[in-house]
A and B are shown apart, each in its own frame.
Chain A
Amino acid sequence: EAGVVQSPRYKIIEKKQPVAFWCNPISGHNTLYWYLQNLGQGPELLIRYENEEAVDDSQLPKDRFSAERLKGVDSTLKIQPAELGDSAVYLCASSYTGGSLNEQFFGPGTRLTVL
């Protein structure tokens, strides 16, 4: 079984430029999460989708961040314009909501560097 796929793995951009990250969850997983992880910190939830609906986006900085999961499968997270403080690892995770554990499986992440 394939895991969570993310691309690109690394991205270097200059501040004020736009950037987009893509995530394909594990097949059959209806819940998709985008997390931000700064160095030395744990993952922080940005947005959570149940199928195609964003059910928790309270931590998403909506002035510059946007996300979509149009068909309830893969998802895109966008930053426009990027700021120096956005440099971090962006993790995508997925889970199947229906089991008792609801384990979240993480993708390899995208390491963003904003210069």
Chain B
Amino acid sequence: QKEVEQNSGPLSVPEGAIASLNCTYSDRGSQSFFWYRQYSGKSPELIMFIYSNGDKEDGRFTAQLNKASQYVSLLIRDSQPSDSATYLCAVRGISGGYNKLIFGAGTRLAVHP
């Protein structure tokens, strides 16, 4: 079992729809959760982070965390073609130290006009 699992996609949504990206993790001691966006040929950039159970909203983005289910998700409202990218889920756990992030393989999102 991989430490951080994501559906590779592609997830295809029409412009204006809600895109829902999901991630599960295996380390129950994980404390912090991050979503990175990576455009093709570019480096990852942080778009959301969440520490506590529940929802966290930032503009069109909402991160959701359920530690009991070891599940974290990212919702993108009013999806735009510019949101088309790979979204990487990253988890910071206890093992390996505070600075260690474990990344999932990413979900490719395609928003079509």
Contact = CB atoms under 8 A, between A and B. Distances in A.
Nearest to A38: B105
B45 A106 contact: yes
B1 interface: no
Given A40-B8, A101-B49, A31 B104 contact: no
Contact of A102 (B42, B44, B98, B105): B98
Given A43-B44, A106-B43, A108-B42, A97 B101 contact: no
A108 B99 CA distance: 20
Contacts of A56: 96-97, 99-100
Interface of B: 4, 8, 42-46, 49, 88, 90, 96-101, 103-106
21 contacts: A41-B105, A41-B106, A42-B88, A42-B90, A42-B103, A42-B106, A43-B44, A43-B88, A43-B103, A44-B103, A45-B101, A50-B99, A55-B97, A56-B97, A97-B98, A97-B99, A101-B49, A102-B98, A104-B101, A106-B44, A107-B43
Given A40-B105, A103-B46, A104-B101, 11 more contacts: A31-B99, A42-B103, A42-B106, A45-B101, A55-B97, A56-B100, A97-B99, A102-B99, A107-B43, A108-B42, A109-B43
